Amino acid sequence: MNLKVIYMNNSLLFICFSLLSLNNIYCDSDIPLIEQENATGQIGVKANSGSIQSLDQVGELCKAQTAQPISESECCNNPCLFQGWSIDVGGQYTWMLFTSPCLPNFSGNTGGAHGSITYQKRDSVFAQVRSFWNRGHLQATGRSSNENEIYIDLLAGYCFSSGCERWMITPYLGIGVDFLNDHKSSTPEVTDIKLKYRLNYGVAGLDVRYMFERDWVFGAQVECFPTFEQHLSITGLPGAAWTLKERIGWNARLPIDYRLTDGIWLEIAPYYRYLAIGKSGVLSLPKRDLHEVGGLVTFRFFIY
């Protein structure tokens, strides 16, 4: 084992340990050190304080003196939040509640799948096409209902970032359509009926994400979607459709994202969605409210 000591400008000392294992340690220090041999014959270095330091101790001193915090520019050059195009797929569980004045309430468990194609990058445009599918069986006193819902949204906005990407704030606008089939079973007094709703709506939303650690991102998302056209058709009455009164719904999510690998994220998001269905004066149908409470599990595959 060789030990070399070099002085530069009387203040900077470069110590290079060439180990037999060919592993190198480099240390920059402003502490003058002197090569010495202790009483046991072990080679070390001696500081002005007079204490002889072993090579292991010098190595620890090197690490402590050369360790520097990661600068903000280095953090920004190593993106921690979502960057670029992604294909997102997953499933969801939803507890659904259908309420209406003077009519029984239907509730039950539903499930389904969802997917989207997203472009999301800091200080750049945001774009997303997303689709959700829910299906389940609801119950009311003495009656049941089969629900099948599909809705599709087209969204566009802009991603603002700050604090070296720790914050990403994305306001966005869009349009969507919701297809809801409600098949109610018959009773001794009432025959079964199949109601088919189509709701066209606009979307105004805000998505906020915060990078808690490099692999963890917490967020909050809120949306409102005022309908600008609602239609109802009833199976058995071909060609007939009724226009319903427009109303406003809204949606909220609390996503938590974890980076599985550099290009794959897992997202878990509890959510609440309120769909407001208008009334029909022609059919003497009251308004209906659809409440959806559940959780989304999504895998996001980024294509860099």
- Among 67, 91, 122, the domain boundary falls at 67
54 and 87 assigned to the same domain: no
Q: Which residue has the higher pLDDT, 14 or 302?
A: 302
- Among 67, 91, 113, the domain boundary falls at 67
Report pLDDT digits (tens) over 278-303: 888 777 778 889 999 999 999 999 98
| 20 domain residue, yes or no | yes
| 263 domain residue, yes or no | yes
232 and 128 assigned to the same domain: yes
Q: For 14-18, what is the mean pLDDT?
A: 37
Number of domains within the chain: 2
90 and 56 assigned to the same domain: no
| 72 domain residue, yes or no | no
- Mean pLDDT score of the chain: 78
126 and 22 assigned to the same domain: no
- Among 11, 37, 67, the domain boundary falls at 67
52 and 98 assigned to the same domain: no
53 and 168 assigned to the same domain: no
Report pLDDT digits (tens) over 136-160: 999 988 788 899 999 999 999 999 9
- CATH, residue 273: 2.40.128.130
Band the pLDDT of 66: cuts 50, 70, 90. very low
Report pLDDT digits (tens) over 68-101: 444 444 445 445 567 789 999 999 999 999 998 8
| 274 domain residue, yes or no | yes
Report pLDDT digits (tens) over 231-282: 888 877 766 678 888 899 999 999 999 999 988 999 999 999 999 988 887 7
Band the pLDDT of 57: cuts 50, 70, 90. low
85 and 175 assigned to the same domain: yes
83 and 184 assigned to the same domain: yes
215 and 128 assigned to the same domain: yes
160 and 87 assigned to the same domain: yes
93 and 222 assigned to the same domain: yes
| 73 domain residue, yes or no | no
pLDDT computed for residue 188 by the predictor = 67
Which domain does 28 fall in, by range?
Answer: 2-67
Task: Kindly state the percentage of the chain with pLDDT values over 70.
Answer: 70
Of 128, 126, 122, 116, the closest CA to residue 80 belongs to 122
pLDDT computed for residue 272 by the predictor = 98
91 and 57 assigned to the same domain: no
| 126 domain residue, yes or no | yes
Q: How far is CA 276 from CA 157, 198, 244, 296, in A?
A: 25, 12, 11, 21
| 222 domain residue, yes or no | yes
pLDDT at 27 over 60: no
